[in-house]
Structure 1
Amino acid sequence: MTAPTSPLALILLAAGRSSRMQGRHKLLEEIGGEPMVRRSARTALDSGLGPLVVVTGFQAEQIAAALHGLPLTLTHAPDFADGLSASLRAGLRACPPDCAGAMILLADMPDVSVADLRALAEGWRQAPPPAVAVTARDGRRGNPVLWDHAYFPELSAVEGDTGGREVLQRHAAHVWKVERPGNAIFTDIDTPEDLAALRARLAADRP
């Protein structure tokens, strides 16, 4: 039995304060010649999996400017300071009403690839519904995560900064792990040191 074939939505969470970046907004920092948030959004769009919703919060106008010209929907979470759950609610509200599921992506994980996103979607489609597909390596869960629409009401009721972790734990029997190589599904950029390490790695990979 496979998941419904109606469209997926992709939700890119880009509302955080970058509180550990010493006054810099990490999502506006350039990675490979473009703002980090734009790089993450382009990856989501290039996957071709469905419409993209980007949730803004802190410095929303600057984030919107960094995304100018991309075919996506912007939605603002006015209560973004309440934590990740506020961004999640805003993103789910903006999803197309007929979507079969939503893939939740974090804008500060710019190493996640199109291949990662497509593999996650394929794994979710193969899982018995209602499934929650998670990227993993050697069994360790990473991001992004793809939720069946059946979980949207529970996700919308979550409070605080935990995102969907509590819902994931409640429905552990429906979690479907999709193994991926490398560290991209674990690598988020939180500090200036993280950013410097990413830039150095990308520079070393250039021919």
Structure 2
Amino acid sequence: MTISSSPHIVSVILAAGASSRFNGSKITAKIQDDQSVLSHSIATLNQLSATANIAAPVVILGAHINVEVMAITADTPRIINPHWQLGLSSSVKQAVAYAIEAKADALLLVLADQVALTVDDYVGLIEAYQHNGHTSCSFYHQDVGVPAIFIADDFTGLLSIDGDKGAKSVLKRHAEKNSLNILPMENAQFDIDTPADLALWLHQQ
């Protein structure tokens, strides 16, 4: 299925964290067919790019840059976050800066470690956004979250986030104003934070 190519949406995979609970670089851990967590995410977003006619994904790297670069192909655009120690907000800000430079109408934010997400999950999010032009997000663990599509009007708010916080505050403000498309997304609830999470994922494959 191919959906409309407009408006202009860019996608960014956030992968700059220290993975402190994993005791190493979790995004280079192998999860299937010798694919790493990060390369799996890139492959899924590349497939989405072809399906939904959106820009190919950009990856934000940071804490484990030396091994992370080896986990992605040379043709995958990447942004290095030198301030990754400041937390997730620093990567969100770099993603927004990239979207502004690209003159994007909207930004699809993705976490590299949500390995259960499929192209269909992302397509559903894009279709919801294109239906009415509202910020659109996933819903799991009884809360809103990413992946999410943020409209250009959100960029200023995203740039004001500090510390190890993501973009949830922006989503909640939209929810309060009834200007948020919320999609239940069961696959988004599984991410890889610990070696036990990885072992469970491998066992399920």
TM tier relative to shorter chain: 0.7 to 0.9
Does the aligned pair in 2 maintain the 1:4–1:125 contact within 8 Å?
no
* More off after superposition, 57-66 vs 77-86: 57-66
Q: 1:61 aligned to 62, 66, 75, which one?
A: 66
Matched, 1:146 2:149: yes
Secondary structure of the 1:198 match is: helix
CA distance in 1, matches of 2:38, 2:141: 28
How many angstroms apart in 2 are the aligned matches of 1:15 and 1:134? Answer: 21
| Structure 2: gaps spanning 5 or more residues | none
Tell me if structure 2 keeps the 8 A contact 1:53–1:94: no
Q: Quote how far apart the aligned CAs of 1:169 are.
A: 2.1
Structure holding more helix per residue: 2
Question: What's the Cα RMSD here?
Answer: 2.0
Gaps of 5+ in 1: 203-207
On the 8 A contact 1:8/1:51 being kept in 2, the answer is no
TM-score, normalised with respect to structure 2: 0.87
Give the match for residue 39 of structure 1: 40
2:78 maps to 1:74: yes
Question: Match of 2:160?
Answer: 157
- Residue 88 in structure 1 maps to residue 92 in structure 2: yes
Deviation at 1:4, TM superposition (A): 9.7
Q: Deviations over 1:121-143 (max 9, x none)?
A: 0011112x3x2101235974343
Check conservation: 1:28, 1:36, Cα contact below 8 A: yes
Q: Distance in 1 between matches of 2:156 and 2:126?
A: 21
Offset from partner CA, 1:158-197 (integer Å, 9 cap, x none): 11112112222222221111234xx311111111110000
Looking at structure 1, the residues matched to 140 and 190 of structure 2 have their Cα atoms a distance apart, in angstroms, of 12
Q: Which residue of 1 aligns with 2:27?
A: 27
Give the 3 Å change call, closer, same or farther, for CA 185–28 of structure 1 in structure 2: same
CA distance in structure 2 between the partners assigned to 1:138 and 1:29 by the alignment: 25
Aligned residue identity for 1:110: V
Q: Distance in 1 between matches of 2:5 and 2:70?
A: 35
The range that moved more, 51-60 or 190-199, is: 51-60
Report what 1:17 is aligned to: 18
Distance 1:29 1:179 in 2: 28
Provide the rounded CA distance (Å) in 1 between the counterparts of 2:183 and 2:193.
25
